[in-house]
Structure 1
Amino acid sequence: MTEFAAVILVDRRGWVLLQERDERPVIAPEKWAFCGGHLEPGEDPLAGAVRELEEETEVRLAPEDLQLVAVQELRHPETGTDDKIHLYAAAVDLADADIVCHEGRQIVFVDPAKAPDLDLSDSARIGLTPFLGSPQHAALSGSAALRTAP
């Protein structure tokens, strides 16, 4: 079992940051997904989430800015493995122009009303559906919860 960590950033409108993957990755090519990736051997999931977010977007958040959304097991049909994803979320006062895309075609904030209509990765479909419209999503989109990245 491979473990992954991923992050959903929520802006002041309640929009969520998603990555449009390109054709290169083995898992979920050409799909919309969370920013995140494999945990290093022995790596704490929260530390991995912070690391992956920074590697893919240059957004630096402190671990205490992230809230656990869910830990889910899922099967990746591309690899034939049963894996685990640790999903975190954080409120930010950022816009698309503040995000540097180091992987995939684009990483942008998406209107939650339109997100379910995207061609989502399995992990994004499983994790995003219950998150959108949840009390946690609503709280993170409130202006009191917003954080700015250094």
Structure 2
Amino acid sequence: MVTRVDVRIAGVILVDPRGRLLLQLRDGNTEVDPHRWSLPGGHLDPGEEPLVAAHRELYEETGLKVDELRLFWRGLAPAGGFPGVVGEFSIFYAPTSATDADVVCGEGAAMRFVDRDDVLTLEFGRANAEIVPRFLGSAEYRQLVRAG
């Protein structure tokens, strides 16, 4: 069975030295997952590669730049707040020395670093509700936390 991909999305997981994740609280002015938490990221522009989009979206939404993003996961997941919409997600990750003071909230109600234990209590949009816990249980996250 072939699944129709409705959107292509790039997301970024930044992990600070304390193991906290940079997350966005979406505002109420969006049709997609209002008042829910998500990763910085968004739709790919036509012809844009996922890695390029991840860097662009990270900068647009947070004012942050990182030298290298590594692919954590690429696959299909429910996208947005619309039934039946499927997105092709490319999720990248990187360590960062940035703090909340360095972050510019370019989109959404808030953008901040969140402790691991608190992350697990947040209400995420559909795709991020699958992706974020998977990352927290991953070897990639454990390696970043050990290195920090």
Q: Give the TM-score, by structure 1 length.
A: 0.89
Tell me the C-alpha RMSD between the 2 structures.
Answer: 1.3
Q: Aligned letter for 1:28?
A: D
Secondary structure at the counterpart of residue 94 of structure 1 = coil
Match of 1:118 among 119, 122, 126: 122
Q: Which residue of 2 aligns with 1:43?
A: 48
Secondary structure at the counterpart of residue 113 of structure 1 = helix
Shifted more, 75-84 versus 27-36: the winner is 75-84
Q: Which residue of 2 aligns with 1:109?
A: 113
Q: Which runs of 4+ in 1 moved over 3 A?
A: none
Q: How does 1:1-150 map to 2 (within 5 A)?
A: 1-62=6-67, 65-76=68-79, 78-80=81-83, 81-141=85-145, 142-143=147-148
1:77 Cα deviation from its structure 2 partner: 6.0
Q: Distance in 2 between matches of 1:111 and 1:72?
A: 26
Structure 1, unaligned runs of 5 or more: 144-150
1:75 Cα deviation from its structure 2 partner: 2.2
Q: Give the TM-score, by structure 2 length.
A: 0.90
Secondary structure at the counterpart of residue 90 of structure 2 = strand
Structure 2, unaligned runs of 5 or more: 1-5
Q: Distance in 2 between matches of 1:77 and 1:94?
A: 28
Q: Distance in 2 between matches of 1:88 and 1:76?
A: 17
Q: Which residue of 2 aligns with 1:148?
A: none
Q: Distance in 2 between matches of 1:121 and 1:29?
A: 8
Secondary structure at the counterpart of residue 131 of structure 1 = helix
Contact 2:78 2:127 in 1 (8 A): no
